[in-house]
């Protein structure tokens, strides 16, 4: 004779593309799912699949110990938290909405004042990556809460716990986004120069991919040196970097393509040389960026 286990349950608030994917993953995993969304109609398909739509945010929060938020930003988070009020006491709120590390810290303080625990999350994949263990989300906040709910969080993606500080998950997320956006803009800008010179994006693709594939080797070379504060220059001296960036800049200008970002980059290299780092590695830009 088998004893039926109580059904696992979760509340999910926010049904944009991300929240919809998350609610779907919980339903697929057999969870009892309570939903709330400002625009109720966005819950229709999920309700048809067995989710329960709460009449308001307070009722949604009251329904379960674990409350997952997937909202546009922390302004939206506060609108929901304010509406939930006293129902938040004793809850673990896993906030998967993006914003700055400081806003995550502020939300954690505010929830602590209401007797609730805030776990910050930074989801690193688009909605199509939800429900896949190979995807990853950064988490930070009280480790006991993370341990207690880890299995439920892993229904969504793999879970990468970064530490106690509630700002850490957003910090890791935002530095990843810094890298992503500057890299993508670099690709798009180079493609604009290619196209302005009659080279279609398709023809550029194998060369762009080869350059992108070389980047991890540079990261592996520089990370331990930067950690050790070793900026000794070799073939990567800042003066040589400046000469190279200026050649790129002149090519961009001659192509009639917006050269603003390249001009700024050349200016950064020049500042480094003028500050006496000309013979140092390009990695010394890290110090320059930090104002050292
Ligand atoms: P959306 O902005 O599309 O949707 C977010 C939800 O926020 C909607 O349900 C919306 O409600 C709700 N909302 C916005 N403002 C308010 C408010 N003032 N009061 C109540 N509810 C509000 O975001 P996504 O679903 O795309 O993403 C959710 C979070 O995940 C964001 O923080 C995003 O940065 C992050 N993220 C998204 C990724 C993606 O690829 N989409 C990737 C990684 C992270 P309504 O339906 O009524 O408009």
Query: pLDDT tens for residues 205-255?
Result: 999 999 999 999 999 999 999 999 999 998 889 999 999 999 999 999 999
- Expressed in angstroms and rounded, the spacing between residue 19 Cα and the centre of ligand 1 is 7
Q: Is residue 180 part of a domain?
A: no
204 & 81 share domain = no
For residue 93, being part of any structural domain is answered with yes
Give the tens place of pLDDT for each residue, 158-173: 999 999 999 999 999 9
Domain of 151, in residue numbers: 9-166
Beta carbon of 122 within 6 Å of any ligand 1 atom: no
Mean pLDDT of the chain: 95
User: How far is residue 292 from each of residues 187, 264, 277, 289, measured CA to CA in Å?
Assistant: 29, 19, 12, 8
Cα–ligand 1 centroid distance for 40 (angstroms): 14
User: Distance (Å, rounded) from C-alpha 284 to C-alpha 281?
Assistant: 6
* Model confidence pTM above 0.85: yes
- In CATH, what number is assigned to the domain containing residue 63? 3.40.50.720
Does ligand 1 lie within 6 Å of residue 70's CB atom?
Answer: yes
In this prediction, residue 4 carries a pLDDT of 58
At 75, the pLDDT band (50, 70, 90 cuts) reads very high
Give a yes or no: residue 33 inside a domain.
yes
Give the per-residue pLDDT at 3: 55
Residue 13 CA to ligand 1 centre (angstroms): 10
Q: Residue 239: inside a domain, yes or no?
A: yes
Model confidence band, residue 292 (pLDDT cutoffs 50, 70, 90): confident
Rg for the chain, CA atoms, rounded: 24
Would the pLDDT of 5 be above 80? no
């Amino acid at each position: 004779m088998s004893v039926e286990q109580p059904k696992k349950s979760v509340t999910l608030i926010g049904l944009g593309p991300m929240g919809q994917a998350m609610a779907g993953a919980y339903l697929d995993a057999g969870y009892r799912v309570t939903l709330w969304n400002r625009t109720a109609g966005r819950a229709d398909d999920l309700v048809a699949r067995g989710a329960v739509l709460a009449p308001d945010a307070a009722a949604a929060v009251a329904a379960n110990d674990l409350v997952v938020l997937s909202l546009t930003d922390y302004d939206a988070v506060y609108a929901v938290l304010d509406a939930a009020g006293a129902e938040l006491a004793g809850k673990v709120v896993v906030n998967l909405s993006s914003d700055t590390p400081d806003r995550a810290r502020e939300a954690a303080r505010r929830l602590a004042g209401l007797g609730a625990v805030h776990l910050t999350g930074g989801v690193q994949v688009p909605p199509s990556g939800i429900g896949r263990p190979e995807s990853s989300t950064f988490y930070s906040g009280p480790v006991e809460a993370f341990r207690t709910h880890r299995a439920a969080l892993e229904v969504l993606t793999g879970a990468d716990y970064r530490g106690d500080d509630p700002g850490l998950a957003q910090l890791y997320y935002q530095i990843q986004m810094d890298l992503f956006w500057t890299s993508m803009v670099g690709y798009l800008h180079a493609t604009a120069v290619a196209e302005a010179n009659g080279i279609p994006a398709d023809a550029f693709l194998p060369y762009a991919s080869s350059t992108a594939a070389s980047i991890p080797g540079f990261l592996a070379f520089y990370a331990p040196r930067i950690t050790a504060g070793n900026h000794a220059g070799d073939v990567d001296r800042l003066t040589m970097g400046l000469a190279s960036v200026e050649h790129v800049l002149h090519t961009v200008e001659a192509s009639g393509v917006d050269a603003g970002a390249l001009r700024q980059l050349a200016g950064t290299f020049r500042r480094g040389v003028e500050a006496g780092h000309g013979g140092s590695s390009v990695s010394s830009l890290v110090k320059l960026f930090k104002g050292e």
